[in-house]
């Protein structure tokens, strides 16, 4: 596996982390600030610098490359596989009336299944229901195939997100990358580090990812009482106080970020489904707790590996970045300490992370986690 990584800020030259060489049919991952990905001159510059066919674009809430977290930048990782291969498919959720489950099923049907080892998702992040997307992808999936990925970001603006394959980035795109080959070893893990607090309550009215009532009370009204003065900063403040959600048929809780609020309905729009009769609790976090969560994720991803990873694809949540602020790179340092200094890191801060629970194969939508996908040939 050969890897070339580089980044550029708004008007600066490209900075490379390895010697720039020509690669053969690489997978090129481009994560960047949404405003830059809307700039035709920037896109032309990316294509000139990396003149390859298989380019995947995704907007982010912060770009991860090497041990750095950059803002208002473009980060590029080009990967040449020597023993394995990949196939990329795309669909747009706007062509499906925003029915993410249907789109997921169609995307999975397009991916060749012979020798398929793993799927990685780069999804629109502002209006795609990530839980439904995963349900569609897994509707007919072989249980030996694992899925990881993330929902694109837009810093803390929450205006719109962009993604694409080959084409210029646009709204509504969902990209699915299939990895193939007997020599591939792919492991993964997802961990948060957030702490539940307050009483455990029951969801008494909800529809998909819209939460209307908790314990028979308007959800937004109850949430505002907990936040106090910070409720004036909604929905941004909700990134610091997500919900711990345990669906009635599940044993493991998932963390759910509140993406938006509806004052008229007194409801909250979450990043994933919150089924009726789920148990919910508020959560909070410390910088040290989040950094420790990143370490746990790295340790679990490394736990049963046969070979050392050659590359780490990282999806971490914007909520973690906002809590850590100037110390955000500490979670990457924790990952690097576990994986080893020579393993290249790349990825983005997201509006939602996709990975199985540790020790499981079925994928889940997470919020506020550090999610790792470790790859070697």
Instruction: List pLDDT tens digits, range 228-282.
Output: 888 888 777 777 888 999 999 888 888 888 878 888 999 998 888 899 999 999 9
Say what the pLDDT of residue 271 is. 80
The structure tokens listed for 117 are: 């080892």
Q: Computed from CA positions of residues 59, 60, 66, 71, in that sequence, does the dihedral angle turn out positive or negative?
A: positive
Q: What is the pTM of this model?
A: 0.91
Give the span between the Cα atoms of 175 and 152, in whole angstroms.
11
pLDDT of 157 reads 87
- Counting beta carbons within 10 angstroms of the beta carbon of residue 292, is it exposed (0 to 12), middle (13 to 18) or buried (19 or more)? middle
Residues 33-70: b if buried by 16+ CB within 10 A, e if exposed:
bbebbbeeebbeebeebbebebbbbbbbbbbbbbebbb
Residue 317 pLDDT? 93
Question: Left (φ > 0), alpha (ψ -120 to 50) or beta: where does 242 sit?
Answer: beta
Going across the sheet that includes 63-65, the strands are 68-70, 63-65, 345-350, 311-317, 370-376, 185-191
Strands 116-123 vs 146-151: parallel, antiparallel or unpaired? parallel
Low-confidence ranges of the chain (pLDDT < 50): none
Q: What is the pLDDT of residue 218?
A: 94
- pLDDT given for residue 247 in this prediction: 92
Structure tokens at 195: 């702490």
């Amino acid at each position: 596996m050969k890897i070339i990584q580089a980044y550029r800020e708004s008007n600066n030259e490209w900075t490379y982390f390895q010697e720039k060489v020509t690669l053969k049919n690489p997978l090129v991952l481009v994560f960047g600030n949404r405003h830059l990905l809307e700039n035709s001159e920037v896109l032309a510059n990316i294509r000139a610098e990396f003149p390859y066919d298989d380019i995947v674009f995704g907007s982010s809430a912060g770009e991860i490359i090497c041990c750095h977290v950059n803002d208002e930048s473009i980060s590029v990782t080009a990967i040449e596989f020597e023993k394995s291969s990949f196939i990329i498919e795309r669909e747009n959720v706007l062509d499906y009336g925003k029915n993410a489950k249907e789109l997921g099923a169609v995307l999975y049907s397009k991916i060749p299944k012979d020798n398929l080892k793993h799927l990685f998702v780069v999804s629109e992040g502002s209006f795609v229901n990530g839980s439904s997307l995963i349900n569609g992808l897994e509707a007919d999936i072989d249980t030996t195939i694992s899925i990881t990925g993330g929902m694109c970001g837009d810093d803390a603006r929450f205006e719109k997100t962009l993604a694409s394959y080959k084409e210029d980035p646009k709204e509504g795109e969902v990209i699915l990358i299939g990895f193939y080959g007997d020599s591939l070893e792919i492991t993964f893990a997802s961990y948060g580090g957030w702490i539940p607090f307050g009483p455990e309550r029951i969801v008494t009215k909800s529809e998909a990812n819209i939460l209307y009532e908790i314990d028979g009370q308007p959800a937004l009204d109850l949430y505002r009482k907990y936040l106090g003065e910070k409720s004036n900063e909604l929905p941004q403040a909700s990134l610091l106080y997500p919900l711990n959600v345990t669906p009635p048929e599940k044993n493991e809780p998932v963390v759910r970020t509140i993406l938006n609020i509806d004052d008229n309905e007194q409801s909250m729009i979450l990043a994933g489904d919150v089924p009726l009769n789920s148990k919910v609790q508020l959560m909070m976090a410390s910088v040290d707790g989040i950094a420790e969560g990143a370490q746990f994720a790295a340790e679990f991803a490394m736990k049963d590996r046969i070979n050392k990873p050659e590359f780490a694809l990282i999806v971490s949540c914007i909520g973690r970045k906002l809590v850590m602020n100037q110390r955000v790179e500490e979670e990457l340092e924790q990952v690097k300490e576990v994986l080893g200094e020579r393993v290249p890191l790349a990825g983005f801060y997201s509006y939602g992370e996709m990975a199985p629970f540790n020790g499981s194969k079925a994928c889940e939508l997470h919020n506020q986690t550090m999610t790792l996908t470790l790859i070697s040939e």
